């Protein structure tokens, strides 16, 4: 089962939406006694994905407003380790492998799991536990790296943040080069549909406050609604 929160949104709305992640987890390790040559250790991922949808409204608070939460979605997936020695000896290999496993899990594969999108990077926490435990076991067994089958239990929270000011920026931009702005008469890359032009860096903070042209006070709300097929304050593609 795939979860594709942005696929049902109009393109301009999806481009103004981001996902923030956090997570926690625990690990159960079972030592493999006398593993045969070529034996591949197994890692089982068990977890829940909890999604919440928020919107940053034009003229609203800086903190996005919660609209609704989804019921928890479960995921279970099994993986084999092709190089278990590297996985258990190296923190970085372990971290990157866990990260790849999450990215290949069906429920999570359509979410951008890049490290910068996590408030707490779950693969780091899990890999630290694995590497520290393996290091202790290796020291206690005369330098021999043990092998394990593992189960990882995790909860992942994802906040889908829809930002109306960014939608306005995308919906109103005529993509022209002109020479008038809020603060300086220098070239800019943003022009409103009635040819009042501004720097992107100037107009975006304005859109966080109000959906009107700074020069003539023309109402821009209709452009947001037309581009997203959703009224202001609503999450596009959601009932």
Mean pLDDT split into 10-residue runs, the chain, 239 residues: 74 89 95 73 96 90 90 95 88 96 93 94 95 88 85 97 88 50 46 60 80 78 81 81
- The answer for 91, left when phi > 0, alpha when psi is -120 to 50, beta otherwise, is alpha
Answer for the pair 206, 169: CB distance below 8 angstroms, yes or no. no
> Helices (DSSP H) in 17-90: which residue ranges?
84-89
Phi, psi of 76, deg, nearest 5: -145, 125
Strands 42-56 and 73-80, sheet pairing = antiparallel
- For the chain, domains (ranges, CATH) are 11-163 (no CATH), 173-228 (3.30.40)
Which residue bears the tokens 């609503």?
234
Q: What is the pTM of this model?
A: 0.81
């Amino acid at each position: 089962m795939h979860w594709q929160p942005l696929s049902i949104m109009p393109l301009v709305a999806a481009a103004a939406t981001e996902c923030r992640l956090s997570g926690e987890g625990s690990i159960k390790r079972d030592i493999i006694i006398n593993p045969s040559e070529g034996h591949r250790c197994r890692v089982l991922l068990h977890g829940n994905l909890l999604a919440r949808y928020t919107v940053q409204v034009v003229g609203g608070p800086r903190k996005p407003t919660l609209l609704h939460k989804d019921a928890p979605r479960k995921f279970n997936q099994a993986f084999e380790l092709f190089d278990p020695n590297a996985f258990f000896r190296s923190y970085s290999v372990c971290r990157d492998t866990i990260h790849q496993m999450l990215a290949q899990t069906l429920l999570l594969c359509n979410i951008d799991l890049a490290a910068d999108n996590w408030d707490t990077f779950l693969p780091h926490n899990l890999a630290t536990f694995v590497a520290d435990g393996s290091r202790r076991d290796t020291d206690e067994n005369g330098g021999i790296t043990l092998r394990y089958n593992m189960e990882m239990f995790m909860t992942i929270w994802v906040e889908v943040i829809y930002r109306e000011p960014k939608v306005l920026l995308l919906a109103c931009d005529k993509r022209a080069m002109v020479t008038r702005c809020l603060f300086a008469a220098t070239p800019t890359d943003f022009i409103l549909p009635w040819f009042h032009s501004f720097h992107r860096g100037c107009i975006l903070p304005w859109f966080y406050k109000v959906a009107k042209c700074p020069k003539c006070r023309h109402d821009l709300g209709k452009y947001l609604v037309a581009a997203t097929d959703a009224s202001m304050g609503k999450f596009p593609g959601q009932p």
